[in-house]
């Protein structure tokens, strides 16, 4: 255990109002907990509200798939085409850049530099707005070619494009919501972001269903309505997060003025590699969607449901990982590298156990998931989904461990090896799929075998790097 004398010893400034003094005292107590609290109980306490929020978000994603299934198989296939790009937006805003923001704020507070932490908030908003604009322009110009490249044609491509035409112009709401919540997490407060995301998820489900299917007084907008519900709910979440941060209850005082270049660099030096890592994760899925799409629309729909559950593992691990990012970041900022490593291993093993258990269940009984979306008559799609789970799901534990260590590495500001792990994963998954497809007659199962091998190598590379190099 580190010496408690190394923890922040600051006291509330007597010049501040009593309310501001109380907020500052609470922030100092949270930072001391990150630096001195027992690792297991502290990580559990921090992660619990995040995991709850992520489980509800997972339910939201399941509901979205269910609603799409009511619009037909073409809509479900279209959702499979657009889903990786939607998840990329969420992964970057909440996990990659969001984690970099949280890490930078936590490291600043661990070093007792509250002015820097406050300035980082403004830099985070500028970065979020810029990236939202990039996503909007790229999808407006290249949306249809991207979906066609993935093997989407006819009604499936039209459904994907309809969803994207609403989601990506509105993705600023997601970026601002997640960047603001990341600042709050960086201060050691996991409860408020979790409550906000819970409310966002609860609001999304009825809005998405209502606008997609035309429930009550709402118009039936189909795939466009499915996306509109998500955008509106995250816009409300962004307003709530900003109001909380502006109230001063985080213990940070926001100041006017353009942030210094060093503030942007502090976020981007971690966020760029983290984003590249997430992009490679999604690119892996995108390439696999393209490979599976060549086996027909039914195979694509079945695989899309399998990939959706795989993607849902990311928010579950994020629930633990976001707590790890803040805890590791604070300890790295205070110079407690050994304790930061202990946090990383504790959290990653827990994530591997949780995700691995889910994988074991769906590998044995894949219809627990598939029959929520597919009827018994849709035999081809069911066969593809069952094959995916029986081959790939046993490797989910490796994916969970690697992903959790990715979040810990964000807190440490060491993203090179997580990035290389993703490079190895995409090389094994895509290269293996091409090789097996050309040398065997396994059909779509060849793609699934390569996906499982890629997950395994991903976890091994990242865990091995942390064990050997210890973030040196």
Kindly report, residue by residue over 38-68, the tens digit of the pLDDT: 898 888 888 888 777 777 777 777 788 888 8
* Residue 11: per-residue pLDDT: 45
pLDDT over threshold 60, residue 10: no
Query: Domain for residue 285, yes or no?
Result: yes
pLDDT over threshold 70, residue 464: yes
Contacts 24+ apart (CB under 8 A), 358-362: 358/309, 358/313, 358/316, 358/393, 358/396, 359/393, 359/394, 359/395, 359/396, 359/397, 360/393, 360/394, 362/309, 362/389, 362/393
Angle at 99 between CA 96 and CA 102, to 5 degrees: 155
Give the residue with greater pLDDT, 256 vs 34: 34
Query: Domain for residue 172, yes or no?
Result: yes
DSSP 8-state secondary structure symbol assigned to residue 394: G
Average pLDDT over residues 150-161: 81
Residue 294 pLDDT class (50, 70, 90 cuts): confident
pLDDT over threshold 90, residue 381: no
> What is the distance between the alpha carbons of residues 408 and 406, in angstroms, rounded to a whole number?
5
Give the residue with greater pLDDT, 5 vs 156: 156
The percent of residues in the chain predicted with pLDDT above 90, rounded, is: 36
pLDDT over threshold 80, residue 329: yes
Query: Domain for residue 373, yes or no?
Result: yes
Task: Give me the number of domains the chain comprises.
Answer: 1
Would you say 402 and 322 are in contact if contact means Cβ atoms under 8 Å apart? no
Query: Domain for residue 29, yes or no?
Result: no
Average pLDDT over residues 292-311: 77
pLDDT tens-place string over residues 241-266: 999 988 888 877 776 567 788 889 98
Average pLDDT over residues 378-395: 89
pLDDT over threshold 90, residue 301: no
* Residue 343: per-residue pLDDT: 93
pLDDT tens-place string over residues 177-195: 999 999 998 888 888 888 8
> What is the distance between the alpha carbons of residues 321 and 50, in angstroms, rounded to a whole number?
9
3-state SS assignment for residue 189: coil
- Ranking 35-44, 107-116, 172-181 by mean pLDDT, the lowest is 107-116
pLDDT over threshold 90, residue 31: no
Beta-strand runs (E) in 107-262:
none
Average pLDDT over residues 225-231: 93
Average pLDDT over residues 332-350: 92
Residue 166 pLDDT class (50, 70, 90 cuts): very high
Residue 1 pLDDT class (50, 70, 90 cuts): very low
Residue 311 pLDDT class (50, 70, 90 cuts): confident
Give the residue with greater pLDDT, 138 vs 19: 138
Query: Domain for residue 81, yes or no?
Result: yes
* Residue 467: per-residue pLDDT: 94
- Both tokens of 324, joined, read 């790890």
| Residue 276, Cβ density class (10 Å: 0-12 exposed, 13-18 middle, ≥19 buried) | middle
Give the residue with greater pLDDT, 376 vs 233: 233
Query: Domain for residue 1, yes or no?
Result: no
Q: Could you tell me the CA-to-CA distances from 17 to 14, 119, 243 in Å, in that order?
A: 8, 21, 19
Please give the residue range of the domain that contains residue 387: 37-469
* Residue 16: per-residue pLDDT: 55
* Residue 256: per-residue pLDDT: 56
pLDDT tens-place string over residues 411-420: 888 888 999 9
pLDDT tens-place string over residues 439-462: 998 888 888 999 899 999 999 999
DSSP 8-state secondary structure symbol assigned to residue 387: H
> What is the distance between the alpha carbons of residues 156 and 75, in angstroms, rounded to a whole number?
6
pLDDT over threshold 70, residue 385: yes
- Both tokens of 97, joined, read 């850049």
Query: Domain for residue 18, yes or no?
Result: no
Average pLDDT over residues 190-201: 88
Query: Domain for residue 126, yes or no?
Result: yes
Would you say 241 and 89 are in contact if contact means Cβ atoms under 8 Å apart? no
- Both tokens of 41, joined, read 């109980």
* Residue 70: per-residue pLDDT: 86
Give the residue with greater pLDDT, 61 vs 124: 124
Residue 6 pLDDT class (50, 70, 90 cuts): very low
């Amino acid at each position: 255990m580190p010496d408690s004398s190394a923890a922040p010893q600051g006291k509330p400034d007597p010049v501040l109002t009593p309310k501001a003094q109380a907020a500052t005292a609470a922030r100092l107590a949270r930072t001391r907990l990150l630096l001195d609290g027992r690792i297991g109980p502290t990580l559990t306490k921090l992660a619990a509200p995040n995991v709850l929020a992520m489980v509800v978000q997972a339910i939201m994603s399941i509901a979205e798939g269910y609603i799409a299934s009511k619009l037909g198989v073409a809509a479900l296939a279209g959702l499979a085409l657009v889903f990786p790009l939607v998840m990329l937006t969420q992964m970057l805003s909440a996990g990659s850049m969001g984690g970099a923001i949280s890490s930078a704020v936590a490291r600043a507070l661990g070093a007792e530099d509250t002015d820097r932490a406050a300035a980082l908030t403004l830099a985070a908003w500028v970065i979020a707005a810029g990236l939202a604009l990039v996503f909007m322009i790229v999808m407006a110009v290249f949306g249809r070619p991207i979906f066609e490249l993935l093997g989407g044609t006819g009604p499936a491509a039209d459904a994907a494009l309809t969803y994207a035409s609403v989601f990506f112009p509105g993705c600023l709401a997601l970026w601002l919501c997640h960047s603001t919540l990341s600042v709050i997490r960086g201060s050691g407060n996991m409860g408020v972001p979790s409550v906000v995301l819970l409310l966002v998820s609860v609001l999304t489900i009825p809005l998405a269903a209502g606008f997609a299917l035309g429930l009550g007084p709402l118009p039936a907008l189909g795939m466009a309505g499915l996306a509109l519900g998500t955008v509106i709910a995250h816009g409300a979440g962004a307003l709530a997060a900003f109001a909380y941060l502006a109230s001063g209850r985080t213990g940070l005082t926001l100041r006017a003025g353009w942030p210094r270049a060093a503030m942007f660099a502090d976020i981007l030096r971690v966020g760029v590699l983290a984003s590249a890592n997430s992009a490679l994760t999604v690119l892996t899925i995108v390439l696999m969607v393209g490979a599976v799409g060549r086996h027909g629309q039914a195979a694509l729909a079945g695989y899309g449901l399998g990939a959706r559950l795989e993607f849902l593992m990311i928010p579950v691990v994020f629930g633990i990982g976001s707590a790890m990012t803040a805890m590791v970041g604070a300890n790295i900022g205070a110079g407690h590298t050994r304790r930061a490593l202990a946090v990383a291993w504790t959290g990653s093993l827990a994530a591997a156990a949780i995700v691995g258990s889910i994988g074991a269940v769906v590998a044995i009984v894949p219809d627990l998931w598939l029959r929520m979306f597919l009827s018994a008559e849709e035999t081809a799609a069911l066969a593809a989904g069952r094959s995916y789970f029986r081959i790939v799901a046993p490797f989910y534990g490796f994916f969970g461990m690697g992903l959790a260590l990715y979040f810990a590495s964000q807190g440490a500001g060491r993203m090179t090896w997580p990035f290389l792990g993703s490079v190895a994963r995409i090389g094994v998954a895509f290269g293996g799929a091409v090789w097996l497809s050309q040398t065997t007659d396994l059909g779509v199962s060849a793609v699934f075998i390569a996906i499982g091998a890629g997950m395994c190598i991903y976890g091994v590379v990242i865990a091995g790097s942390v064990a050997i190099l210890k973030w040196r």
